[in-house]
């Protein structure tokens, strides 16, 4: 983990439908910095603005107040420079493109040559352990496999930042746990910074270096919890340190509820 | 096509063929057994005889009617798709026009045929082609517009995360997303264009067309000839439908790949 900032959010407010009757303050006074190589989870009850915060980092939304910097430049410039990849709960693969063509889409838009694209998409398929599935259509794959392809696509242009919005939310428990191990392996191999939105306490505890607990209406940072489980394997899920981290997150979330 | 796909296609084809032949046999024997008067319901074999007898007239009539259907089909498809793009680009247009189009689509447009005859003349093809085009327009417009606009919000966000602009999103996401919707509309409107053409011809016009051949012979109680004309028109409608299916297969290969896998799994 380097000391350089991957993301720095300075005193950000986000208000939807400003000056209208249905005005909503989604986020208020957010200050948060994420170091390069860090794995940070955003957790909180629904309506706390965690997905909104992720979209502010990705410049899919603009802050009403304050500034968002990604790798020392504006979030907008970072998006134009394709500094981040994005993964949603909905895998969002395009039905009409074969798996390899889906992974190559961002490369195509960036003007990569055909042979470079083919080489990279195969590397990515190897990385997500689907080496032989490039020629399939997405609908021919299971939900877990589709989500792997979606991760491969997000990483295909080697972004330094990965933004994930409840990526495993639609998967069954066993697949989900497999995918968590896979994601950690990929994170270690690529050195990418990850910002991960989840509503699962064990998931946040298992994956993260830091867990940011948000409180709703308006969304604010309630607390930031450091987690250090070292090298994680399946047996980490039985580790007392894992339970301790999960408990700490749970207590923070309870405190958030009581605050309301 | 390998053996497995051939077998799976053959297994889809033979039940309707067998049942179709069964129905014809039942029809034939029912007319004979119950001594049904042939002017009320002719035997399939008599219709076949009349079809061969009047082949030249029927062939010419279906060629003329075919030109009406295909011409109207082309006009309806082109304007339907053009309006769909319009509706996608201008939201106000979409919100105003789409509900209206859905409402108009539910009305019997062929009823306009006599009025179109008054407007565009009864002797040429334009009036009838425009009836067909109007019938074809609405399903094409509604479906294509739906396909262009009903894109998952995450897919748009994903494209924006790649710094893609509206045109790239249109080309890479909206248009391919709309293809199955368009193909669906095509499957509906292809046979509909033949129906619309024939019904429009019932209201007058040149005498060498299928609609006229049917009404003329029915008027003379030559029902077997009328039936033969209906059979020719059905065959034409069916071939347009098959054509639409083929276009669907070719333009949306990802659909057939998934479907084929599902049928072979069973």
Residue ranges of domains in chain A, CATH in brackets: 5-83+159-259 (3.40.50.300), 93-158 (no CATH)
What confidence tier does B243 reach under pLDDT thresholds 50, 70, 90?
very high
Query: Does residue B266 surpass a pLDDT of 50?
Result: no
Lowest mean pLDDT across A243-247, B123-127, B163-167 = B123-127
* CA-based nearest distance B7→chain A, Å: 21
Q: How far apart are CA B259 and CA A141, in angstroms?
A: 13
Q: Which residues of chain A have pLDDT under 70?
A: 1-2, 260
Distances (CA, A) of A165 to A194, A246, B154: 11, 20, 10
Strands across the sheet containing A5-16? A24-35, A5-16, A65-70, A73-74
3 state DSSP class of A172: coil
Q: Which residues of A touch B172 (CB under 8 A)?
A: 94, 105, 109
Mean pLDDT (chain B) is: 87
Q: Measured between CB atoms, which of B154, B163, B172 is closest to A82?
A: B163
Residue in A with minimal Cα distance to B265: A140
Q: Which residues of B touch A106 (CB under 8 A)?
A: 162
* Report field, pTM of the whole predicted structure over 0.95: no
Q: Which CATH class is domain B36-265?
A: mainly alpha
Percent of chain B with pLDDT over 70: 93
Tell me the mean pLDDT in the region B197-225.
87
Helix residue spans in A44-98 (DSSP H): 50-57, 75-80
CB-defined contacts A:B, below 8 A? 59
Sequence spans of domains, chain B: 36-265
For chain B, say whether A140 makes contact (Cβ under 8 Å).
yes
Whats the size of chain B, residue-wise? 266
**A44 and A214 Cβ atoms separated by less than 8 Å:** yes
Q: How far apart are CA B121 and CA A62, in angstroms?
A: 59
For chain B, say whether A1 makes contact (Cβ under 8 Å).
no
**Residues A86, B163: C-beta atoms closer than 8 Å:** no
Q: What is the ipTM of this complex?
A: 0.86
Q: Encoding tokens for residue A243? A: 């339970």
Tell me the mean pLDDT in the region B27-38.
89
Q: pLDDT (tens digit, 9 = 90+) per residue, A74-94?
A: 999 999 988 898 999 888 899
What confidence tier does B188 reach under pLDDT thresholds 50, 70, 90?
very high
């Amino acid at each position: 983990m380097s000391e350089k900032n991957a993301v720095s959010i300075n005193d950000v407010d986000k208000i939807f439908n400003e000056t209208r009757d249905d005005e909503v303050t989604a986020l208020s006074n957010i200050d948060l910095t994420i170091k390069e190589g860090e794995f940070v989870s955003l957790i909180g009850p629904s309506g706390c603005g965690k997905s909104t915060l992720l979209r502010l980092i990705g410049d899919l939304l603009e802050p009403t107040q304050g500034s968002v910097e990604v790798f020392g430049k504006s979030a907008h410039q970072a998006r134009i420079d394709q500094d981040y990849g994005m993964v949603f709960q909905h895998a969002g693969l395009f039905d009409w493109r074969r798996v390899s063509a889906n992974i190559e889409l961002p490369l195509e838009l960036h003007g990569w040559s055909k042979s470079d694209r083919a080489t990279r998409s195969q590397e990515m398929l190897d990385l997500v352990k689907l080496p032989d599935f490039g020629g399939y259509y997405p609908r021919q794959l299971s939900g877990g496999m589709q989500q792997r392809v979606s991760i491969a696509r997000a990483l295909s242009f080697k972004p330094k930042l990965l933004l994930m919005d409840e990526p495993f939310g639609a998967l069954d428990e066993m697949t989900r746990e497999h995918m968590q191990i896979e994601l950690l392996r990929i994170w270690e191999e690529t050195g990418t910074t990850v910002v991960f939105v989840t509503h699962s306490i064990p998931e946040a505890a298992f994956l993260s270096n830091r867990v940011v607990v948000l409180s709703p209406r308006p969304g604010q940072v309630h607390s930031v919890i450091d987690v250090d489980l070292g090298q994680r394997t399946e047996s980490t899920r039985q580790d007392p340190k894992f339970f301790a981290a999960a408990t700490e997150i749970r207590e923070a979330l309870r405190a958030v509820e009581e605050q309301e | 096509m390998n053996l497995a796909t051939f077998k799976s296609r053959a297994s889809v084809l033979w039940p309707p063929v067998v049942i179709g032949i069964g129905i014809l046999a039942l029809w034939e024997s029912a007319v004979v057994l119950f001594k049904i008067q042939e002017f009320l319901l002719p035997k399939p074999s008599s219709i076949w005889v009349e079809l061969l007898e009047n082949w030249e007239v029927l062939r010419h009539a279906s060629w003329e009617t075919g030109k009406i259907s295909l011409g109207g089909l082309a006009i309806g498809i082109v304007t339907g798709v053009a309006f769909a793009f319009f509706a996608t680009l201008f939201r106000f247009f979409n919100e105003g026009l789409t509900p209206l189009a859905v409402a108009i689509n539910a009305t019997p447009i062929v009823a306009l045929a006599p009025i179109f005859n008054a407007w565009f003349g009864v002797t040429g093809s334009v009036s009838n082609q425009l009836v067909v085009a109007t019938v074809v327009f609405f399903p094409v417009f509604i479906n294509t517009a739906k396909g262009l606009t009903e894109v998952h919000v995450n897919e748009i966000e994903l494209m924006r995360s790649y710094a893609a602009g509206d045109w790239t999103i249109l080309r890479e996401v909206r248009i391919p997303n709309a293809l199955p919707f368009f193909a669906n509309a095509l499957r509906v409107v292809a046979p509909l264009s033949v129906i619309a053409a024939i019904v429009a011809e019932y209201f007058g016009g040149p005498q060498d067309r299928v609609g006229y051949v049917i009404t003329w012979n029915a008027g003379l109680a030559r029902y077997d000839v009328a039936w033969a004309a209906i059979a020719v028109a059905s065959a034409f409608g069916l071939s347009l439908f098959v054509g639409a299916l083929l276009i669907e297969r070719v333009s949306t290969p990802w659909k057939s790949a998934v479907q084929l896998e599902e049928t072979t799994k069973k």
